Amino acid sequence: MNVRGATQKLRHEGPAGLARRIVRRAHDRLGAGALDFPLLPGDIADSGSLPAVTAGKRSRSDGPLTIGWLSTPPSAGSGGHTTMFRMIRALEDAGHTCVLFLYDRHHGDLTRHAEVVAHSWPWVGAEVRDASSGWEGVDAVVATSWPTAHVLARRGTGLHRLYFVQDYEPFFFPRGSEHELAADTYRFGFTNIALGTMVHDRLRHELGVSSHVVPFSCDTNVYSLEHRGARSGVVFYAKPDVPRRGYLLGMLALEEFHRRHPEHPIHVYGEAMPEVSFPVIRHGRLTPDELNLLYNQTVAGLAMSFTNISLVAEEMLASGTIPVVPDLHDARADLPNDEVAWSPPTPAGLARALCRAVEDPDVPGRAVRAAASVRTDNWQEAGRAVVRIIEDTALTAGPPQVSWEASGPSSPAPPVATPAPAAP
């Protein structure tokens, strides 16, 4: 960029706009985008050339299992990691031992990662190890994302291998290399555990891959109705750098909502975001308890996700906030709830849904109905199903039983094998 061009950009876009252009140009010239790819070259697997892997089942009389969970380093507040830790806790409550193997292609500090786990999920007892240390003493390993599935396919031999699939991850990317590398993980031959019918149906319809399916839930120990009086304002979980979270659509909708209802405050939490043309209250990252307090104040919120349904939607409901959700088949598959404000996925449609919520003549009454509509098993049903699937994979099994079936527009879930209780 020459001096004349820089001067023009400074005049029209201001110092922040010019700085962004300079940083982006340096980013492109240095090839910094390659740092975003989550795998080392040697850890990329190919379903067409993977060797067959066999692992013998243990007898139940041999005692509890030791289960490895292969994950990327978690950050505080990560919903996907929280769901994984709920499944780990279910296994621990069933008497099994869990080990968390962290895969970090940038070789971050394992001690720091372990401190994040201990601070953010203190109710989990799993030991934290580096994935490069091997699988000593482990009976089975569960991959938890498409990069960790590649690592497990390349490095996990002689083990029972499972895959806890929380979303159809090819949708995270445009059609291209990463899209296909993510899709290929479902062909690796692992025991696939799908969270919800959306994932189960996508695996079957897109790739012809089978899976066990376990149900969604909501943590009503944290998210609950504590305020039954007047409410004001709306809330948005902002993730500008995650396209599937619909940040741009959300902000355009909020701009229109503010034009029509300037008396209602707009609360935004989550990741850092650029300046916007209308007033917002920025909360940054919030703990679950802090979120519950916020949801007990607001009337409605944008719960945006263009792949699997966001946990945010039902958490809002539990606290009395009406979630405005893009009306898509994949979203409805696992949120059959009449209190949701389903909306066309357009700025005007989302804004209208927010306006209807704040214009409701009985906001407190609708908040009560919303809170009463959520699932109340606190992830116990999903946890029990995951325990049974892992036990059936790694231990000699008893007769199969149906543990849960999907409801709503999607097809029913396949039966989940239910063995006899594990030995204490």
pLDDT of residue 36: 80
pLDDT of residue 422: 37
Task: Please indicate, yes or no, if residue 260 is contained in any of the structural domains.
Answer: yes
Provide Rg for the chain, Cα atoms.
23
Say whether 213 sits in a helix, a strand or coil: strand
Higher pLDDT among residues 51 and 413, named by residue: 51
Among 59-73, 236-250, 372-386, 409-423, which stretch is predicted with the lowest mean pLDDT? 409-423
Task: Pick the closest to residue 297 from 227, 224, 221 (CA basis).
Answer: 227
Task: Please indicate, yes or no, if residue 8 is contained in any of the structural domains.
Answer: no
pLDDT for residue 230 is more than 70: yes
Residues 330 and 261 in one domain: yes
Residues 149 and 252 in one domain: no
Say whether 211 sits in a helix, a strand or coil: coil
CATH number of residue 343's parent domain: 3.40.50.2000
341-361 per-position pLDDT tens digit: 999 999 999 999 999 999 999
pLDDT of residue 77: 87
Rounded Cα distance between 354 and 56, Å, is: 55
Q: How many CA atoms lie within 13 A of 178 on its CB side?
A: 13
Task: Please indicate, yes or no, if residue 226 is contained in any of the structural domains.
Answer: no
Rounded Cα distance between 317 and 372, Å, is: 8
pLDDT for residue 200 is more than 70: yes
Task: Please indicate, yes or no, if residue 110 is contained in any of the structural domains.
Answer: yes
Distances (CA, A) of 396 to 138, 193, 227, 392: 17, 19, 50, 7
Residues 65 and 105 in one domain: yes
The residue-averaged pLDDT of 11-38 equals: 59
| DSSP code string of 158-178 | SSEEEEEE-S-GGGGS-TTHH
Distances (CA, A) of 223 to 137, 290, 369, 419: 38, 10, 15, 33
Higher pLDDT among residues 322 and 106, named by residue: 322
Strand partners for 214:
195
pLDDT over 70 percentage in the chain: 85
Rounded Cα distance between 152 and 252, Å, is: 41
Task: Please indicate, yes or no, if residue 405 is contained in any of the structural domains.
Answer: no
pLDDT for residue 134 is more than 60: yes
Residues 167 and 67 in one domain: yes
DSSP structure class, residue 395: B
Rounded Cα distance between 122 and 140, Å, is: 24
pLDDT over 90 percentage in the chain: 79
Rounded Cα distance between 231 and 298, Å, is: 5
Rounded Cα distance between 340 and 317, Å, is: 8
Residues 60 and 200 in one domain: yes
pLDDT of residue 167: 98
Task: Pick the closest to residue 269 from 248, 252, 255, 290 (CA basis).
Answer: 290
Task: Please indicate, yes or no, if residue 18 is contained in any of the structural domains.
Answer: no
Task: Please indicate, yes or no, if residue 85 is contained in any of the structural domains.
Answer: yes
DSSP structure class, residue 270: E
Task: Please indicate, yes or no, if residue 20 is contained in any of the structural domains.
Answer: no
pLDDT of residue 52: 84
pLDDT of residue 292: 98
Average pLDDT value for the chain: 89
Distances (CA, A) of 314 to 100, 229, 283, 318, 325: 28, 20, 20, 6, 11
Backbone angles phi and psi of 101, in degrees to 5: -100, 120
**What is the pLDDT confidence band of residue 226, given thresholds at 50, 70 and 90?**
very high
pLDDT of residue 5: 58
Rounded Cα distance between 108 and 106, Å, is: 6
Q: Domains in the chain: how many in total?
A: 2
Range of the domain at 273: 234-372
pLDDT of residue 396: 76
Residues 284 and 316 in one domain: yes
CA-based max dimension of the chain? 78
Residues 58 and 185 in one domain: yes
pLDDT for residue 401 is more than 60: no
Strand partners for 71:
102
- For residue 209, give both structure tokens: 């891959």
Residues 163 and 187 in one domain: yes
Contact call for residues 144 and 70 (beta carbons, < 8 A): yes
Among 2-6, 68-72, 387-391, which stretch is predicted with the lowest mean pLDDT? 2-6
CATH number of residue 128's parent domain: 3.40.50.11090
77-100 per-position pLDDT tens digit: 899 999 999 999 999 999 999 999
The region that residue 100 occupies, defined by phi over 0 for left and psi between -120 and 50 for alpha, beta otherwise, is beta
pLDDT for residue 413 is more than 60: no
Residues 355 and 385 in one domain: no
**Which amino acid appears at position 102 of this protein?**
L
253-269 per-position pLDDT tens digit: 999 999 999 999 999 99
